[in-house]
Amino acid sequence: MSNLALVVALVGIVGIGAQWVAWRTGWPAIALMLVAGIIVGPVLGAVQPEADFGALLEPMISIAVALILFDGGLNLNFRELRRTEGALARLVGLGVPIAWALTALACYYIAGLVWPVAILFGGILVVTGPTVVLPLLRQIALAPRPRAILKWEGIVNDPIGVLCAVVTYEYLRHAEQGAPVVAAMLAVAGAALVAALVGFAIAFALGWLLPRGLIPEYLKAPVLLVTVIGTFELSNLIERETGLLAVTVMGIALANMRLASFRDVQPFKENISVLLVSGVFVLLSASLNLEVLRQFEWRFLGLIAALIFVVRPAAVLASLAFSPIPWRERLFVAWIAPRGIVAVAISGVFALRLGGLGYSDGGTLVAISFAIAAGTILVHGFTARALARRLGLAGKKRDVLIVGATRWSLSLADQLRQLDVPVTLVDTSWHRLSPARQSGLPIFHGEILAETTEDHIDFARVQALVATSDNEAYNTLVCNEFGPELGRDAVYQLGGAEHDDPHALPSTLRGNSLFDSELELDELSAREAAGWAFRRTKISEKFDFDALKSLLPAGADLLLLVQPGGVVKFFTHASRPVPDAGDTVLSYAPPDIAKAAARRERKTTKKTAAAAE
């Protein structure tokens, strides 16, 4: 395609479109992006990365991978590392050498590669990487510990895999030239150490500059962006392929400095990361050359099978032996190891270098790496969620967090519990939580806005947050804090927005107002004092939603509906869901209506019990 701007637009549309389809369908995003790239690339010929971008393609992908790794490093907080209970150290210290050795054996005996190429390729394939692991984890409400293990391993192993390949290549190059091999190994180790120090030093410099106002707010995100690219290239000048290590260390260091400035650039870097992952995946699969595929042999399928069913399980289970990690979590981690951008890109780089050393097998690395990336992405992408559920490590996002313990919120929590919806009541006051404790409701005693809250509440399993304290400003603060993480459509608060009051809190900061009528806090208190109560109504084919609304008095308000799967949908000023047969609607009604409904429910319960006897 001659129009480069059109190519860029098409890559963006296809990549983000695949992510959107994955969100709507629950299918693995990485598999959809891979398939989408193949369709617009080799199949339709609309995107031909090598011809369209030319010499810019390789540096573009390299810089994109560096930015993705940096963003991944920013998500690696040492508090989360403690959740792994030493698993990361085992997987890196023991798992990497075991996987390297077993993969090299498989490349030699199954794929038929010569020993030097097999050893180098084995080092490359120890990577998993955030470009494939993070999109996979994003779609699974996985338990905190295995999620932390896979995320840390994927981000840390990327530069380690590259270093394994660099060490092997330098060994082969110096052996070919008759130079001292030990000196070469020491040089590589020294370069890696320098790269890590460069990453840490630049992170330390940013950590000193940002809080002191030496960089204006509007330049913080751009400065961070160009600094990452500069760090990547600076480290590569010291020693080729060490830039990924430098930016990973830089990201991890910044993540653990607790800089308030990073809260402002968080949405920017996350958006950049999503765009880069989508674009690079499409370019990666679109650049698949049919001529390269002709080098593919059926024995390479045996290598893919060995990596999935033998190498990965053996490396993980051996490294986690006698660890405190439960068996079901070990099994899940042992299954998940998709390869992606880094494995393919580094294989292409070293294929050329090996050719310069006289190893003809280097040319087949591109075909094998593409096949391994596609095979592992499809296998792990389509099985991860099912396996996690089978092992009891994941479930649907069903939990509801209610922030603020009041009489009204206690009643709401009790109603949700009776509808089999998991609910947790959060408050800073032990006294206000006392009725909830006595009734057996799950609670969290602490400040929801504290950084340590994530150590106790798994937000990946939260489907909705409801702020119900008697302080409207606090409710707004809570919703504004968790809106980007849970989704703006999943945070709710009591109290309506004053659209005509210039002194009111901006509606852009608030969560969705509960109730269609945007019931105010003072009016809710008055209704509660007057004896208003919750009313549950089951929708059926004979008693539909219109029948329910016709029986409600003028003052009653619809609050939410619960679907049979435990999904909760709230009635708000902006959203009015329509219940289907089998759904249960929870409304807030005056005392006479509520009491009548309660009497009818008791009669129905008695009739059901009598019929059962």
Residue 178 sits in the same domain as residue 143: yes
Domain span including residue 125: 4-390
Token reading at 599: 């009497």
The residue to which tokens 């959809």 are assigned: 32
Last residue of a domain, one of 364, 390, 416: 390
Q: How confident is the model at residue 609 (pLDDT cuts 50, 70, 90)?
A: very low
Residue 374 sits in the same domain as residue 425: no
Last residue of a domain, one of 361, 390, 419: 390
Residue 151 sits in the same domain as residue 228: yes
Residue 363 sits in the same domain as residue 415: no
CA distance 282 to 198: 32
On the question of pLDDT at 601 being above 60, the answer is: no
Q: State the pTM of this model.
A: 0.72
Read off the pLDDT of residues 438-495 as tens digits, 9 standing for 90 and up.
988 999 998 888 867 776 787 878 889 999 988 888 998 999 888 888 888 889 998 7
Under DSSP, is residue 158 helix (H, G, I), strand (E, B) or coil? helix
On the question of pLDDT at 331 being above 60, the answer is: yes
Percentage of the chain beyond pLDDT 90 is 18
CATH code: domain of residue 449 = 3.40.50.720
Question: How many C-beta atoms surround the C-beta of residue 268 within 10 A?
Answer: 14
Q: How many domains does the chain have?
A: 2
The residue to which tokens 């698949």 are assigned: 288
- Rounded mean pLDDT, 236-259: 83
Mean pLDDT rounded to a whole number for the chain: 82
Read off the pLDDT of residues 36-73 as tens digits, 9 standing for 90 and up.
888 898 888 888 888 888 888 878 888 887 887 788 77
CA distance 346 to 341: 8
- Rounded mean pLDDT, 130-141: 77
Residue 137 sits in the same domain as residue 242: yes
CATH code: domain of residue 240 = 1.20.1530.20
Residue 406 sits in the same domain as residue 463: yes
533-538, strands of its sheet edge to edge: 533-538, 584-589, 557-562, 568-570
Residue 229 sits in the same domain as residue 355: yes
Last residue of a domain, one of 332, 357, 390: 390
Please name the residues in contact with 395: beta carbons below 8 A apart, sequence gap of 6 or more: 141, 389, 461
- pLDDT, residue 295, reads 62
Residue 482 sits in the same domain as residue 355: no
Higher per-residue pLDDT: 332 or 289 = 332
- C-alpha distances (whole Å) from 53 to each of 2, 50, 59, 105 are 10, 6, 10, 37
Residue 409 sits in the same domain as residue 347: no
Percentage of the chain beyond pLDDT 70 is 87
CA distance 288 to 285: 5
CA distance 499 to 497: 6
Cβ–Cβ under 8 Å, residues 128 and 337: yes
Residue 486 sits in the same domain as residue 367: no
Residue 271 sits in the same domain as residue 404: no
Percentages helix, strand, coil for the chain (3-state, rounded to 5) are: 65, 10, 25
Residue 541 sits in the same domain as residue 586: yes
